[in-house]
């Protein structure tokens, strides 16, 4: 832990801030400290008080209050606010929903608007339920509609092209009602993991469908253009298809659409048709929402028997509601329609992080009845105080514009149509040094990779404290725990400690859902949470959880079965080989040749669209190609890690006596969106550059000392973090790297 101007940050937090949040100049050099970042944000957000008659002195006091709240890490706003408040871009919202109506003009307006939002750092949700089905006749041209899935690929391609400048990646939610005629194709549209990678998809389940499922009968499919019944499907067969695909790779998720609209605060304005990419924020078309999270880990008393610090929590809630309402006023919206709708409803989403840490400090197991009770107590308190704070703002500033006719009309004067949301807090929780959202610990101990491949063992600070106090701390044990992540099988650790320090995979799916449902009771919007399943879970297990979620009042569910996506790397432990009946040929393992102490080669500069790529090719003492290394100049991130991975795989192939021509044939001609031209002709991609460097090395026959860097680690596993190579954990609907802060929610 480092203390910078009174701000306590872990090394990981500093790394994430430097990589993603702090200002950089045109050369990419950091020109802002964490202290200055929080000062910038507090000053910008507090300035909204000037619109409501506050004096300069009063605004300065508000700024100081916001600064203290964020630098103490008691509360943090969503990432776009941290990144952009007080800067030229000034776009502070994370969540948007855009309408997609049944016309070519509306579809491509949505594509254009989504690109603008992604460029500004936001994520977008769409309902494709209004689009006529595949094969339907288009009246104006007498042509045939290609259907929702076809148009989703257009959105996906546009998102891929934008990439949000490397700070936040474009993410989309695609939702289709279960009664749309193309629902079967939608459920199966991500069967191949290479398709629609910038989309999460969810099926909107209606009450009519759930009733048909319970009664084991058919239900109607409706053409959204004509509102006529096209045909009928058996609800159980459709539900089984959803379940099996969710079991297979985590998608589609489900959203209980009618339940979402039961709590729509402004039904007179319109129906909610979709959510943001992680599902926690149902929004009307053109709405945006500003989110923030209270760090519950810092709201526990320091007494011998730790308890919730209710007074501090109340103070933080009130300041947080004030902060988030101000964000609506100082925000620079990407579209005028979004500004108008957002200011008319003034939705905010105050949530929590550090929930698992709070339970640990209070010695309460996550998977216990007491934890569920405490969840309701804590979130009920936050909801109640949040409404009071919004009501106080309403007295001072006025109710939201669409208040008349809303669910509050005549009952409670409030400033904000919604107040609470549980959002993913991937990078925010890393900055705060706490557990993510309402998730359990992802690991008690894990391996973190730092500069030049050095491995560090990271141990949960609460566990380290307990282990030292109870006398079972030692480095060797921590390393063993890092391999497994969980402590449940370690005999040297007392049972009461094991009970408290449970991880996501120690907890049953039913216990995950019970926790989600406990929080949902006191949430205006919805809850982003991942229900983790072990690899050996069955589709029936997923079905049971979906039905339990419906029964307990959840608004949606996201599941993830460990190892179900081909690209997954286990965050902890070593993957187990699946037993299979291998024939004789497969049972013979190829053992790569060992590397001699000294080796010779040459390094060649290849100019690629990603920057200068230095490729070192080394030979053994007989002149045979032996290994290959790459270095991407000053560039880093995905391109550098991918080039390094290719080099390691080539080295493994060469040391296993694979013909170099076969390697060249596999790589040559692969193209990317950034080709380059050099003296030797066109370089289509980094892969193409590596293939051509091998060819040139063999043709030139030049020898010399290779300047490649040391091979310090094993082959990069498919699915590792694309920026640092670290392991990726699935939580709150996102893939999160706890090593560098990379998140992908699409």
Looking at the DSSP assignment, which residues form a beta bridge with residue 289?
95
User: Residue 421's CB: how many other CB atoms inside 10 A?
Assistant: 28
Count of all residues that appear for the chain in the document: 746
The answer to whether 672 is a known catalytic residue is no
Q: Which of 20, 733, 17, 729 is nearest to 423 (CA)?
A: 733
Task: Say how far residue 186 (Cα) sits from the centre of its chain.
Answer: 22
The active-site residue, picked from 63, 95, 273, 278, is 278
Triad 83, 88, 90: Cα angle to 5°: 55
The active-site residue, picked from 63, 280, 511, 731, is 280
- Phi, psi angles (nearest 5°) of residue 568: -70, 140
The active-site residue, picked from 113, 172, 276, 532, is 276
Taking only Cα atoms into account, the Rg of the chain, rounded to an integer number of angstroms, comes to: 27
Residues 6+ apart with CB under 8 A from 664: 691, 694, 695
Helix ranges, 347-474 (H): 355-361, 369-397, 426-432, 461-470
The answer to whether 280 is a known catalytic residue is yes
The answer to whether 264 is a known catalytic residue is no
User: Residue 290's CB: how many other CB atoms inside 10 A?
Assistant: 27
> Does residue 720 have a cis bond before it (omega within 30 degrees)?
no
Task: Say how far residue 31 (Cα) sits from the centre of its chain.
Answer: 27
Classify residue 637 as left (phi > 0), alpha (psi -120 to 50) or beta.
left
Q: Helix 660-667 to helix 686-700 angle, to the nearest 10 degrees?
A: 150
Distance CA 483, CA 115 (A): 41
DSSP secondary structure letter of residue 563: T
The answer to whether the beta carbons of residues 745 and 739 sit under 8 Å apart is no
Q: Give the Å distances, CA to CA, from 332 to 26, 87, 343.
A: 23, 10, 12
The number of C-alpha atoms within 13 Å of 360 and in the hemisphere containing its C-beta is: 26
28 SS3 class: coil
Element (H, E) at 616: strand 611-619
Q: Hey, which residues are catalytic here?
A: 276, 278, 280
């Amino acid at each position: 832990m480092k203390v910078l101007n009174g701000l306590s940050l872990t090394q990981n937090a500093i790394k994430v801030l430097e990589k993603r949040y702090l200002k950089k100049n045109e050369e990419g050099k950091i020109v802002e400290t964490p202290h200055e970042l929080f000062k910038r944000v507090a000053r910008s957000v507090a300035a909204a008080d000037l619109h409501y008659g506050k004096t300069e002195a009063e605004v300065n006091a508000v700024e100081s209050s916001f600064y203290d709240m964020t630098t103490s890490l008691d509360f943090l706003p969503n990432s776009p606010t941290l990144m952009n408040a007080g800067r030229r871009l000034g776009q502070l919202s994370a969540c948007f929903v855009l309408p997609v109506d049944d016309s070519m003009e509306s579809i491509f307006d949505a594509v254009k608007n989504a690109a603008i939002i992604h460029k500004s750092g936001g994520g977008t949700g769409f309902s494709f339920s209004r689009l006529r089905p595949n094969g339907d006749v288009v009246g104006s041209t007498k042509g045939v509609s290609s259907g929702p899935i076809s148009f989703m690929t257009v959105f996906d391609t546009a998102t891929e092209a934008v990439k949000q400048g490397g700070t936040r990646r474009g993410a989309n939610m695609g939702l289709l009602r279960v009664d749309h005629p193309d629902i079967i194709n939608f459920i199966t549209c991500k069967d191949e993991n290479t398709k629609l990678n910038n989309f999460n998809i969810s099926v909107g389940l209606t009450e009519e469908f759930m009733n048909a499922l319970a009664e084991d009968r058919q239900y109607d499919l409706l053409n959204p253009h004509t509102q006529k019944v096209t045909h009928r499907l058996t609800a159980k067969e459709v539900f089984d298809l959803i379940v099996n695909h969710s079991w297979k790779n985590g998608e589609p998720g489900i959203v209980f659409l009618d339940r979402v609209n039961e709590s729509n605060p402004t039904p007179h304005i319109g129906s909610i048709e979709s959510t943001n990419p992680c599902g926690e924020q149902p929004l009307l078309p053109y709405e945006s929402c500003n989110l923030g999270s209270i760090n519950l880990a810092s709201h526990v008393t320091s007494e011998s028997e730790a308890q919730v610090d209710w007074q501090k929590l109340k103070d933080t809630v009130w300041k947080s509601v004030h902060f988030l309402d101000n964000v609506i006023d100082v925000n620079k919206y990407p579209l005028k329609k979004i500004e108008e709708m957002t200011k008319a409803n003034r939705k905010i989403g105050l949530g929590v992080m550090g929930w698992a840490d709070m339970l640990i400090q209070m010695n309460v197991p996550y998977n216990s009845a007491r934890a569920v009770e405490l969840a309701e107590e804590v979130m009920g308190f936050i909801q109640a105080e949040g409404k009071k704070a919004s009501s106080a703002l309403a007295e001072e500033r006025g109710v939201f514009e669409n208040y008349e006719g809303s669910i509050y009309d005549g009952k409670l004067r409030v400033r904000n149509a919604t107040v609470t949301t549980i959002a993913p807090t991937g990078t925010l929780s890393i900055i705060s040094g706490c557990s993510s959202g309402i998730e359990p610990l992802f690991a008690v101990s894990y391996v973190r990779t730092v500069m030049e491949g050095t491995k560090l063992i990271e141990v949960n600070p609460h566990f380290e404290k307990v282990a030292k106090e109870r006398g079972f701390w030692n480095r060797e044990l921590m390393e063993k725990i890092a391999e497994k992540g969980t402590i449940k099988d370690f005999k040297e650790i007392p049972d009461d400690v094991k009970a408290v320090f449970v991880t996501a995979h120690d907890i049953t799916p039913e216990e995950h859902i019970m926790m989600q449902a406990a929080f949902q009771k006191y949430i205006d919007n919805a809850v982003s949470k991942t229900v983790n399943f072990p690899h050996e879970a069955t589709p029936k297990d997923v079905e049971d959880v979906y039905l339990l979620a419906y029964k307990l009042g959840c608004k949606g569910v996201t599941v993830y079965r460990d190892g179900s996506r081909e690209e997954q790397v286990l965050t902890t432990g070593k993957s187990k080989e699946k037993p299979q009946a291998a024939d004789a040929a497969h049972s013979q393992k190829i053992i790569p040749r060992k590397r001699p102490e000294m080796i010779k080669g040459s390094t060649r500069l290849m100019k690629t669209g990603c920057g200068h790529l230095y490729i070192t090719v080394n030979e053994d003492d007989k002149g045979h190609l032996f290994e290959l290394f790459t270095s991407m100049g000053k560039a880093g991130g995905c391109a550098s890690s991918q080039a390094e991975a290719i080099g390691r795989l080539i080295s493994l192939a060469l040391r296993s006596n694979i013909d170099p021509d076969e390697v060249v044939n596999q790589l040559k001609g692969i193209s990317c969106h950034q080709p380059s031209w050099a003296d030797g002709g066109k370089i289509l991609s980094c892969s193409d550059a590596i293939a051509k460097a091998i060819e040139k090395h063999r043709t030139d026959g030049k020898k010399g000392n290779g300047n490649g860097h040391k091979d310090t680690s094993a082959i990069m596993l498919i699915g590792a973090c694309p920026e640092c190579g670290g392991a990726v954990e699935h939580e709150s609907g996102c893939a999160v790297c706890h090593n560098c802060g990379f998140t992908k929610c699409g």
